[in-house]
Structure 1
Amino acid sequence: MTSVSEGRIHGGAVPLITRGPLRTTLRAGDGVRIEAVYEPCTAGAAAADGAAGAGTAIVLAHGFTGSADRPAVRRAAEVFAQRAAVVTFSFRGHGGSGGRSTVGDREVLDLAAAVAWARSLGHRRIVTAGFSMGGSVVLRHGALYTAPGVREEGGGRTEAHGEAHADAVVSVSAPARWFYRGTAPMRRLHWMVTRPTGRLVGRYGFRTRIDRRPWDPVPLSPVEAAGRIAPAPLLIVHGDRDPYFPLDHPRTLAEAAGGAAELWLEPGMGHAENAADESLLTRISDWATAR
């Protein structure tokens, strides 16, 4: 798994904001094919007339072993679409996308391609909302892909970053640091990612193709990324019954953001999109369209 910080977005001409669902194949910055689905805001005429969410698209980044067509992702997209247009996609190695999963490294290129596609459809404002692995990816993407005119430390960005940046970021059930093995579910996940037998289980049991190569170099960590997202608004959401990552993870992320992040600790919530109920998803979409 080779760490990257930027790449050019590949894609053809697409129409401006469409009235119906649209499914396409995008090209990430390294050429990997990414399946993506666009769904317009179901508020219909109200959104077109300038209600909250008009012009906004939420790009939904699923968790590890998920995909654009998994029921939990579809449910989240349906709730988000009540407030804004929604782009869902499958990370590399998942669903109908090509390539192999790098478990949060090169996936930032997949998200960038989806964000750039949403802008090409005519949306003026893009909010990324990621769950678990997707939550770590939206944090890293928010740190690496900055809006035009926002100067990064150490130099500028490629032209692709101007169209692929997020205007606000929502990270749900994300880890604060890499290589965490403090819970039984995370130890099982590390076995699946690092062992040949585990990768076979991932491929045939979870329909997820996993890259066997280790990260080189190790990508920017979620906690480091959280401190670099401002001035874009950041929302961190985490359940107090998350079996993967205990509450020190979201608290560390919020602390790293230096007070610029909003932190929601959800009573009784488990992990990621499977545990996010309609009420929480509605509150997230309300936050996304109000910023």
Structure 2
Amino acid sequence: MSNGPAGHVTRSSPPSGFRPHSETPARHGTARLRTFLYTVDGVPIDAVYDPGAVVYENSRPPSVQPVFVVAHGFTGDVDRPHVRRVVRALRAYGAVVTFSFRGHGASGGRSTVGDREVLDLAAAVAWARELGHARVATVGFSMGGSVVLRHAALHPDDTDAVVSVSAPARWYYRGTAPMRRLHWLVTRPTGRLVGRYGFRTRIHHRDWDPVPLSPVEAVPRIAPTPLLIVHGDRDGYFPVDHPHMLAAAAGDHGELWLEEGMGHAEHAASEELLARIGGWAVGRTVGGAG
């Protein structure tokens, strides 16, 4: 295995100790694929490609379909039912790439809770491009929502549209009970054991050094890429001042959907909301920013 420039990915057999996956041989854009990707820092990432269910005119090749690269929330992975539900909804609008962040599911490494996960997303986006898709929309939830913002800020040419759902605006937030529990899970040895055996999430013991760019600092750097911020007004993790901060930082190039009655992340996203997200992203990647 060799590492290339940022975002480059090699595909390989699973590393020792990981379950094998089958990869269906077929023309790009026409079959479901599952493989391991390698990030630029050498972490194996479990990734799945689902072709889109939409049908285009015969004169338009499958690669014209937009592809959604979905970044799940903390303790999720590609096989979780709530992640697969997002895939099923978005496939009506294009192909979908999902992956397990480092430290989650069958992926290697340990979670850095949103820091080096940007490299995981970059590998998944690069794979989507290699599969022939010219238009990429990243869609992230909670921790994944912060990752898609930072990825778009650090790699502005990699994505054509960005959707961040239930993301924090700032780091180290402990203002709600769920976030205090999450900080215990991440910062305490006992909490990390619970994460490993209770949530199938292996968490790194080191503090951030340096502290990564915060989501609210990242947002102004995303322009002119279209940006959608989605948040529930009943989010138990991050209250509504978080999306308002992100929207204010985005200015005219961002759009905020504050969803009435919605809670947090994938579990709270209705089928109707996921359909609206898919339609919004297709309008930006295919029909222009209009």
Output the TM-score relative to the length of structure 1.
Answer: 0.88
Q: 1:182 to 1:285 in 2, by over 3 A?
A: same
Equivalent residue number for residue 237 of structure 1: 230
Provide the residue aligned with 2:248 in structure 1: 255
Larger RCO, structures 1/2 (Cα 8 Å, 6+ apart) = 1
Matched, 1:275 2:253: no
- Write the mapping of 1:6-25 to structure 2, written as runs, cut at 5 A: 7=6, 9-12=8-11, 17-25=28-36
* Kept after mapping to 2: 8 A contact 1:52/1:290: no
Deviations 1:146-182 (A, max 9, x none): 21xxxxxxxxxxxxxxxxx111100000000000000
Which residue does 1:266 correspond to in 2?
A: 259
Residues 51/75 of structure 1: CA separation in 2 closer, same or farther (3 Å cut): farther
SS at match of 1:112: helix
Q: Is the 8 A contact 1:16 1:120 kept in 2?
A: no
Aligned counterpart, 1:182 = 175
**For structure 1, which runs of at least 5 residues remain unmatched after alignment?**
1-5, 148-164
Inter-CA distance 182–53: structure 2 relative to 1 (3 Å threshold) = farther
How far is the alpha carbon of 1:7 from its aligned partner?
3.6
Work out the CA distance in 1 between the residues paired with 2:268 and 2:104: 20
Q: Give, as a single letter, the amino acid of the residue that structure 1 aligns with 2:8.
A: I
Matched residue type, 1:68:
V
| 1:173 corresponds to | 166
Q: d(CA) in 2 for partners of 1:48 and 1:264?
A: 35
Q: 1:81 aligns with which of 73, 91, 96?
A: 91
- Corresponding position of 2:53: 42
Q: State the SS of the aligned residue for 1:226.
A: helix
Aligned with 2:75: secondary structure? coil
Q: CA deviation at 1:19?
A: 1.0
Alignment of 1:24-173 (within 5 A): 24-43=35-54, 45-46=55-56, 50=60, 54-147=64-157, 165-173=158-166
* Aligned CA distance change for structure 1 residues 140 and 276 (closer, same or farther; 3 Å): same
Tell me if structure 1 keeps the 8 A contact 2:29–2:63: no
How much is the aligned-residue C-alpha RMSD, in angstroms? 1.9
- Asked whether the 8 Å contact 2:29–2:95 carries over to 1, the reply is no
Residue type at the aligned position of 2:151: H
Match of 2:206 among 184, 200, 213: 213
Question: Any conservation in 2 of the 1:54–1:84 contact (CA below 8 Å)?
Answer: no
**Which whole-Å deviations, capped at 9, do the CAs of 1:209-264 have from their partners, x for residues lacking one?**
00000000000000001111001000000000000000000000010012210000
Instruction: Give structure 2 stretches of 5+ with no counterpart.
Output: 13-24, 285-290
How far does residue 198 in structure 1 lie from its aligned partner after superposition? 0.4
1:155 is matched with none
Report how far residue 53 of structure 1 moved: 9.7
* Shift of residue 8, structure 1, vs aligned partner: 5.1
Aligned length: 268
In the alignment, residue 49 of structure 2 is paired with which amino acid? Y
What is the CA deviation profile of residues 115-150 of structure 1, one whole-angstrom value per residue up to 9, with x for unaligned ones? Answer: 000000000000000000000000000000021xxx
Q: Which runs of 4+ in 1 moved over 6 A?
A: none
Aligned equivalents of 1:17, 1:51: Cα separation in 2? 10
